[in-house]
Amino acid sequence: MADLSGTNPDRLSGISDGIFAVGMTLLVLGLVVPVLYGSSTTEGQLWQALRDLGPNVLVYTMSFITLGIFWLGQGTQISHLTRSDRHYMWIHLVFLFSVTMVPFSTALLAHYFWLKVALVEYWLNIVLLGATLFAGLEYGLSANLFREENKREIAVLMRGRILIAQSLYAVATALCLIFPTWVSIALIILIQLNYALAPRLPILGRF
């Protein structure tokens, strides 16, 4: 029975969609409506309170795009499966664990966006997402879980996409050692837009 568990890719798709949906929804909980007491609250006070939410909105948007990119990446990988097994399933359960950590990483970075520790913790979450997605790809290839049709080309494409993206994220995060953290955050957003938009940004079109 143990050998038969985890052989249906549809179950992995189902739980993945559910966890991604919950993770994306939980992100918005970091956007708390400003509390301004008294009926004498002015338009200017409310506007200032909304401006103070700017970092939270920015990091929320960044994290939503992050989850969207990895949801599409995992979906592409799963769509090429002919079968699955327990080991592949557990690799992706670790991947989904890292998905559930994104709301926490997002909240931490939103509250302490000027601190390097918060930025590095957020980056480590992205590293875990990329590493487990890459591990699933490599294991699937070695265990012959993917369709033979165009397997080589698809493997090269997915492998390169993950490795290049992770390298860019690492470089962007490392720059916080030299520049303020907002520079790294801006670069991470640019990298995400490159992978999310079509056509891609000309500056990063080669990636």
Q: Is 137 helix (H, G, I), strand (E, B) or coil?
A: helix
45-54, 141-150, 157-166, 192-201: lowest mean pLDDT where? 192-201
* Residue 55 pLDDT: 80
Structure tokens at 124: 């480590």
pLDDT-derived band at 7, boundaries 50, 70, 90: low
pLDDT digits (tens, 9 = 90+) for 49-78: 788 888 888 888 989 999 999 999 999 999
- Distance CA(49)–CA(35), nearest Å, equals 8
pLDDT digits (tens, 9 = 90+) for 85-102: 999 999 999 999 999 999
Return the domain boundaries, the chain: 9-29+41-204
Answer whether 31's CB lies under 8 Å from 60's CB.
yes
Stated pTM of the model:
0.86
Answer whether 181's CB lies under 8 Å from 113's CB.
yes
* Residue 35 pLDDT: 75
